[in-house]
């Protein structure tokens, strides 16, 4: 039986077989960051989740158009009430920069962090401020369809009217009547007919730095609109996959669905995918709780909650060890353990290159291949995939110890399996966090230990101890065993 990729569709709430709209091609849109501060742990999970999806679709042979936006305007401090300053304008005021200097600075950091995490760049990375016309065109279309109204130079989406024809709340499972019964959000919202209406276009006061002319006067687009406008522009009126963090389901994605459906007359997304959140020692991550850890802090260890630095690949492996729809709790213990697991995997990869082959095999690589493929096809089940890779590690070690055997062809397949699943699909890579990974360092340490071994044979204990002690000072720990000498670098 041929295996097919199944994806859990947040909209239908079941796993569905992924069939692309156009044979051989896949289109995916993922909500990217609002670039007003350094990328943090919360940015790493969607980035890694949808990188996994992108890499797997490429592996399956699809030509993938992967669009991930940069929000550089319209994201207000209070997302739900749609009040307060624009997040980027506020930072610009505090840092005494032009808003687009703030955007450039944090976009550059985000890109660097994404590269450190070895995630592939999207094929198109559109910016909200670069698509004002496209957003205005969509507003006009929604107005023409009768699902929006203009008040004092602002345009609001008419949720009530939309809900009469379509259903507002379809993604998040909410019901407008119930929501209205349970809300007290009315004060200061005089412009809105309904407290759940949301802005498509907001009138700008003169002191507002980012504003553009429109037929409704000077203003700026509402936060939800950019994704509807840019996904339609680059992926079409119907496209395959829309991804993002679970925290974006409501109101952001719900509003996206409403906007696109109102403008186009039909829904545009076939598969909605949402990654779950990361908690820190069991708590939600929030600036106010002091448990807000940026990726740079994580990689350098420079944060009071961290007992050490965690390399980008350790962080990535930690995230991939949980299924993307599961919650994931950050703790130093979990990260240390992820680092050790990754080290075991990478050590096995090194051993893999030196394994002896036999005329016949006692291990079954085909079964392993099938299991890895099945794990990925089951809604990108990376933790199960990793468990199978550890089964591969067990086989590698047994073959290395001479307790199992493998043929040359089997060994080629095993090497290929690790290359494909570990490097290409999971997107992990060997790290030279210390100089330990450097070939020259390895050769030099081996030479030094060879000289030491000669000294020991000559009973020259002074030289032997001198070498061990000096290596220790450099950070290289020497362990004498019965069957030889091992060494490792301290971190």
Binding footprint of its own copies on the chain (CB under 8 A): 65, 97-98, 100-101, 104-105, 108, 111, 121-127, 129-133, 137, 212-213, 234, 434-435, 438-441, 443-445, 447-448, 450-451, 454, 463, 466-467, 470-471, 474-475
Q: Give how far the C-alpha of residue 288 lies from the chain's centroid of Cα atoms, to the nearest Å.
A: 24
What is the distance between the alpha carbons of residues 190 and 169, in angstroms, rounded to a whole number?
A: 23
Nearest to its own copies of 77, 450 (CB atom): 450
Please report how close the Cβ of residue 101 comes to its own copies at its closest, in angstroms.
Answer: 5
Tokens matching residue 268:
């545009």
Please calculate the CA angle 74-147-176 and round it to the nearest 5 degrees.
Answer: 85
Nearest to its own copies of 97, 238 (CB atom): 97
DSSP 2-69: ----EEEETTTTEEEE---SSTTEEEEEE---B-SS--BHHHHHHHHHHHHHHHHHHHTT-EEEEEE-
- Element housing 84 (H / E): strand 83-86
Nearest to its own copies of 144, 450 (CB atom): 450
Please report how close the Cβ of residue 133 comes to its own copies at its closest, in angstroms.
Answer: 5
Nearest to its own copies of 356, 472 (CB atom): 472
Backbone angles phi, psi at 344, to 5 degrees: -60, -45
Please report how close the Cβ of residue 399 comes to its own copies at its closest, in angstroms.
Answer: 30
Alpha carbon distances (Å) from 257 to 144, 164, 175, 245? 17, 15, 15, 16
- Element housing 370 (H / E): helix 365-377
Please report how close the Cβ of residue 134 comes to its own copies at its closest, in angstroms.
Answer: 8
What is the distance between the alpha carbons of residues 114 and 319, in angstroms, rounded to a whole number?
A: 14
Backbone angles phi, psi at 202, to 5 degrees: -115, 130
| 332-352 vs 382-400: helix crossing angle, rounded to 10 | 50
Nearest to its own copies of 332, 438 (CB atom): 438
Tokens matching residue 113:
């962090």
Helix, strand, coil shares of the chain as percentages rounded to 5? 45, 20, 35
Q: Which residue has the tokens 């082959």?
A: 357
Please report how close the Cβ of residue 142 comes to its own copies at its closest, in angstroms.
Answer: 16
Please report how close the Cβ of residue 18 comes to its own copies at its closest, in angstroms.
Answer: 22
Please report how close the Cβ of residue 345 comes to its own copies at its closest, in angstroms.
Answer: 24
Please report how close the Cβ of residue 41 comes to its own copies at its closest, in angstroms.
Answer: 25
What is the distance between the alpha carbons of residues 341 and 317, in angstroms, rounded to a whole number?
A: 9
Nearest to its own copies of 78, 439 (CB atom): 439
Alpha carbon distances (Å) from 271 to 14, 91, 281, 318? 11, 35, 32, 26
Q: 45 near 280, Cβ under 8 Å?
A: no
Nearest to its own copies of 83, 438 (CB atom): 438
Nearest to its own copies of 131, 323 (CB atom): 131
Please report how close the Cβ of residue 241 comes to its own copies at its closest, in angstroms.
Answer: 17
Nearest to its own copies of 147, 220 (CB atom): 220
């Amino acid at each position: 039986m041929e295996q097919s990729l199944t994806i859990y569709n947040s909209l239908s709430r079941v796993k569905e077989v992924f069939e692309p709209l156009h044979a051989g091609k896949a289109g995916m849109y993922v909500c990217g960051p609002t670039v007003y501060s350094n990328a943090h742990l919360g940015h790493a999970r969607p980035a890694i989740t949808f990188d996994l999806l992108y890499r797997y679709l490429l592996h399956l042979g699809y030509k993938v158009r992967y669009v991930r936006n940069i929000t550089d305007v319209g994201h207000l401090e209070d997302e739900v009430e749609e009040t307060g300053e624009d997040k980027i304008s506020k930072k610009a005021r505090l840092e005494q920069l032009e808003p687009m200097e703030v955007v450039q600075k944090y976009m550059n950091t985000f890109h660097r962090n994404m590269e450190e995490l070895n995630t592939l760049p999207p094929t198109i990375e559109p910016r909200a401020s670069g698509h004002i016309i496209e957003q205005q065109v969509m507003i006009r279309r929604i107005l023409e369809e009768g699902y929006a109204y203009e008040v004092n130079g602002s345009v609001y989406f008419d949720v009530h009217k939309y809900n009469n024809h379509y259903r507002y709340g379809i993604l998040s499972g909410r019901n407008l009547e119930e929501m209205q019964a349970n809300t007290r959000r009315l004060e200061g919202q005089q412009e809105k007919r309904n407290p759940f209406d949301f802005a498509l276009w907001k009138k700008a006061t003169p002191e507002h730095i980012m504003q553009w002319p429109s037929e409704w006067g000077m203003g700026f687009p509402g936060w939800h609109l950019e994704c509807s406008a840019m996904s339609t522009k680059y992926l079409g009126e119907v496209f395959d996959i829309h991804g993002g963090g679970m925290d974006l389901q409501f109101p952001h994605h719900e509003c996206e669905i409403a906007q696109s459906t109102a403008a186009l007359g039909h829904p545009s997304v076939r598969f909605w995918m949402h990654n779950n959140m990361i908690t820190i020692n069991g708590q939600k991550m929030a600036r106010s709780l002091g448990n807000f850890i940026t990726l740079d802090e994580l990689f350098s260890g420079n944060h009071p909650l961290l007992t050490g630095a965690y390399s980008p690949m350790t962080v990535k492996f930690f995230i991939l060890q949980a299924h993307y729809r599961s919650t994931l709790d950050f703790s130093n213990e979990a990260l240390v353990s992820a680092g050790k697991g990754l080290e075991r995997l990478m050590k096995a990869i090194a051993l893999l290159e030196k394994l002896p082959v036999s005329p016949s095999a006692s291990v079954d690589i085909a079964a392993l291949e099938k299991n890895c493929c099945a794990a990925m096809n089951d809604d990108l089940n990376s933790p199960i995939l990793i468990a199978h890779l550890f089964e591969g590690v067990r086989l590698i070690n047994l073959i290395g110890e001479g307790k199992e055997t493998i043929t040359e062809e089997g060994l080629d397949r095993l090497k290929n399996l690790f290359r494909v699943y570990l490097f290409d699909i999971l997107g992990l890579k060997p790290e030279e966090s210390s100089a330990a990974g450097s070939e020259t360092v390895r050769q030099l340490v081996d030479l030094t230990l060879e000289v030491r071994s000669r000294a020991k044979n000559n009973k020259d204990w002074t030289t032997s101890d001198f070498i061990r002690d000096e290596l220790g000072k450099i950070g290289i720990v020497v362990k004498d065993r019965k069957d030889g000498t091992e060494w490792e670098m301290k971190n």
